Amino acid sequence: MNIITAIKEWVRRMITRSDIKSTYGSDTAITDSFAAAINEWARMYAGKAEWVDNDSVHSLRLEQSITREFANTVLNEMTATVFANDKLNEIYKSAVEDINKHFQRGLATGAMVIKPLGADKVQFVSQDAFVPIEYDVNGRLIKVIFPEIKQISESTYVTRLEYHSLDYENGLTITNRAFLSHTKDTLGREIPLASVDEWANLVPEITYPAMLRPAFGYYVNPIDNTVDNSHGGVSIFEPARHLIRLADIQFGRLDWEFESGERAIYADELALKTTDGKKRDVPRLKQRLFKTIGANDDFFKEFSPQLRQADFITGLDTYKREIEFAVGLSYGDISSPQSVDKTATEVKASKQRKYDTVTAIQSNLKNCLDDLVYALAFYNSMTQSGYEFNVNFEDSVLTDDDTKRTQDRQDVSMGALQLWEYRMRWYGEDEKTARAMVAGANADVVE
């Protein structure tokens, strides 16, 4: 079994609440109803929503379109740098190099954790693959279990539970415990970590008194949780869940309209047989064209109904625009931009809606990345190195590129923006190359 799949199956079942309570003396921070919601969001994201039957109703994968649009907009507008510590900056850049696809899953499931694995690697864990135990009053995840499951034989499973517990006065405690089970439905009995070779060198428990922040970055969607009113993150497409269902069903109607409207020729069965009475071979692409009718009917009849696809397409696009409104996208992000004429006021309001949503996401992501950099600094003994972490976001949702470039040129002229920064932004150069190009240009002027 794939490890990631096994972990997610474990989390979705939550083993049993009694397992968690008997093992750690604590209950989970979310209810069974919220765990079920996370499971539903994950299934929707994978194109396996409960209303999809792969016969009459197919998934349009609008969930992926929504998360991809938000992830691209948020991350393409972001520049993040660790100053005053080149090594930490390199570690951070390498760690988040592949963040986009993982961020999409975090948006889909409601939250995600970016957890360092040692000094220079990270693990992206979406909300359907960890167990929250406690949030603080501000919604920060301070106690959480990260499970790792291995199937070592057909009926033998070993599970490692990595438990992070942060106390703002006494520091961070991380424990590792291992369990053996012969079914996927129970945690089983506890075994020594050394029973599994890969876990033999892990420390069962360690406390870091000076660590007063989580040892990971935690991102949560800026959406009110009305499922169970906990601090658990809500999927970015949850406000449009019912509309996504209607859109998938509407596409099924459109697909059926094309299928049911295929041209056909009804012919006497004798016309489709050879002289020796055998069925005549029909070219593969024309097999659906000929259909037999009884001998008492006309020899040939043509069936060629008028398609009504325009009405179905219009209805589908209406659902898509309602989805855009519900999740906070602009009109035309997933719907057809030419479907309905919009006034300038409507276009501006649409862009403002997306800008507000993206800005809220960026604010939460900034907090996540700030904690991640601190955790990376911690694992590299650099928390006292004097580093500074800076994150900037553009506002291209409201401002076109020409306007932004003109503004940046003015900023360079007034000295508010360095020329090498301008080159990094608009020529795609790294800092070293941009500085060298500026230095070379200045040297030519002096000569």
Alpha-carbon span 212 to 170, nearest angstrom: 8
How many CA atoms lie within 13 Å of 63's alpha carbon, on the beta-carbon side?
29
| 405-430 average pLDDT score | 86
Alpha-carbon span 86 to 75, nearest angstrom: 22
Share of the chain above pLDDT 70, in %: 79
Could you identify the residue written with the tokens 């993150």?
233
On whether the CB atoms of residues 116 and 88 are closer than 8 A, the answer is no
Predicted pLDDT at 267: 52
The confidence band for 346, taking pLDDT boundaries of 50, 70 and 90, is confident
Predicted pLDDT at 17: 66
Rg (CA), the chain: 29
Q: Which of 135-144, 223-232, 305-314, 366-375 has the lowest mean pLDDT?
A: 305-314
279 versus 242: the higher-pLDDT residue is 242
On whether the CB atoms of residues 202 and 175 are closer than 8 A, the answer is no
Sign of CA dihedral 348, 351, 357, 361: negative
Alpha-carbon span 8 to 18, nearest angstrom: 19
DSSP character at residue 178:
E
| 218-234 average pLDDT score | 95
Spatial neighbors of 220 by CB under 8 A, at least 6 apart, are 110, 111, 139, 141, 231, 233, 364
Alpha-carbon span 63 to 52, nearest angstrom: 13
| 261-278 average pLDDT score | 56
pLDDT above 50: residue 431: yes
Predicted pLDDT at 6: 47
Predicted pLDDT at 430: 82
The confidence band for 309, taking pLDDT boundaries of 50, 70 and 90, is low
Would you say residue 434 lies in a domain?
Answer: yes
pLDDT above 60: residue 301: no
Alpha-carbon span 396 to 423, nearest angstrom: 18
| 424-436 average pLDDT score | 84
Predicted pLDDT at 143: 96
191 versus 22: the higher-pLDDT residue is 191
CA distances to 23, 74, 185 from 177, in Å: 10, 37, 18
Predicted pLDDT at 253: 82
220 is written with which tokens?
Answer: 């949560």
Domain that holds residue 444: 400-447
Would you say residue 26 lies in a domain?
Answer: no
Sign of CA dihedral 72, 333, 44, 163: positive
Would you say residue 445 lies in a domain?
Answer: yes
Would you say residue 264 lies in a domain?
Answer: no
Calculate the CA 197 to chain-centre distance: 33
Predicted pLDDT at 425: 78
Q: Which of 8-12, 30-34, 252-256, 277-281 has the lowest mean pLDDT?
A: 8-12
Share of the chain above pLDDT 90, in %: 55
The confidence band for 404, taking pLDDT boundaries of 50, 70 and 90, is confident
Would you say residue 193 lies in a domain?
Answer: no
Would you say residue 375 lies in a domain?
Answer: no
| 382-402 average pLDDT score | 81
pLDDT above 90: residue 312: no
Calculate the CA 177 to chain-centre distance: 29
- Which span out of 15-24, 117-126, 251-260 was modeled with the highest average pLDDT? 117-126
CA distances to 18, 133, 210, 407 from 25, in Å: 9, 11, 25, 58
Q: What are the residues facing 258 on neighbouring strands?
A: none
Would you say residue 415 lies in a domain?
Answer: yes
CB environment 150-175: b (16+ within 10 A), e (fewer): beeeeeebbbbbbbbbbeeeeebbbb
pLDDT above 60: residue 31: yes
Q: What is the rounded average pLDDT for all residues in the chain?
A: 84
Predicted confidence (pLDDT) per residue in 37-89, tens digit: 999 999 999 999 999 987 889 999 999 999 999 999 999 988 999 999 999 99
Burial zone of 388 (CB within 10 Å; 0-12 exposed, 13-18 middle, 19+ buried): exposed
Predicted pLDDT at 259: 67
Predicted pLDDT at 314: 87
pLDDT above 70: residue 266: no
Spatial neighbors of 211 by CB under 8 A, at least 6 apart, are 166, 171, 172, 378
Total count of domains within the chain:
1
Q: What are the residues facing 126 on neighbouring strands?
A: 112
| 290-314 average pLDDT score | 59
* Selection from 146, 150, 101, 151 nearest residue 128 by Cα: 146
Predicted confidence (pLDDT) per residue in 273-294, tens digit: 555 656 555 544 444 544 555 5
The confidence band for 298, taking pLDDT boundaries of 50, 70 and 90, is low
Backbone angles phi, psi at 414, to 5 degrees: -85, -5
In a 3-state reduction of DSSP, which class is residue 67?
Answer: helix
Predicted confidence (pLDDT) per residue in 364-381, tens digit: 999 999 999 999 999 999
Alpha-carbon span 369 to 361, nearest angstrom: 12
pLDDT above 80: residue 441: no
Would you say residue 411 lies in a domain?
Answer: yes
CA distances to 13, 157, 181, 396 from 152, in Å: 20, 6, 10, 50
Backbone angles phi, psi at 97, to 5 degrees: -60, -35
DSSP character at residue 336:
-
Spatial neighbors of 392 by CB under 8 A, at least 6 apart, are 78, 79, 80
